[in-house]
């Protein structure tokens, strides 16, 4: 497989492997290339590719869980929620897939950080809704 292979032609499994590798580089503060991960998002969002969606969830579930747990560590009332952290992870991904339409993706202009920032906002939206619900009771 040529390094210059058109990303749109790469099999999802190859993209997933490269995305995981580049994500590790990112978290270890090494040079990384986000094109592979961005291509997975492109396929999932624009092409409604179910396999790309599955790969993204597997790839980013730990990061989304980290965001949930970090929020929970800053809010003592988090333990009062009748939901597990994984429930918020699922809600965040659901919000993302419902609201991050192709037009929003186009505005990201090949920026994986912009896409992940939106996913992070979906996490905080799910948590904020639960917090509001807790305080209405």
Q: What mean pLDDT is reported for the chain?
A: 89
Does the pLDDT value for residue 102 go beyond 90?
A: no
Report field, pTM of the whole predicted structure over 0.95: no
**What totals of helices (H) and strands (E) does the chain contain, helices first?**
6, 0
| DSSP-derived secondary structure letter, 11 | -
| pLDDT band for position 4 (cuts 50, 70, 90) | very low
Pair of tokens at residue 66: 């980290």
pLDDT at 137: 57
Instruction: With beta carbons less than 8 A apart as the criterion, state whether 52 and 38 touch.
Output: no
d(C-alpha 92, C-alpha 103), whole Å: 19
């Amino acid at each position: 497989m040529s390094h210059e292979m058109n990303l749109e032609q790469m099999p999802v499994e190859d993209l997933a492997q490269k995305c995981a590798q580049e994500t590790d580089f990112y978290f270890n503060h090494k040079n990384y290339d986000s094109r592979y991960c961005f291509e997975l998002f492109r396929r999932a969002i624009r092409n409604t590719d179910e396999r790309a969606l599955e790969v993204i969830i597997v790839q980013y579930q730990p990061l989304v869980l980290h965001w949930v747990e970090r929020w929970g560590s800053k809010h003592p009332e988090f333990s009062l929620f009748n939901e597990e952290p994984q429930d918020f992870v699922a809600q965040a991904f659901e919000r993302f897939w419902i609201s991050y339409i192709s037009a929003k993706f186009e505005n990201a202009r090949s920026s994986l950080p912009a896409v992940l920032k939106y996913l992070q906002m979906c996490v905080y939206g799910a948590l904020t809704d639960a917090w509001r619900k807790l305080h209405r009771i």
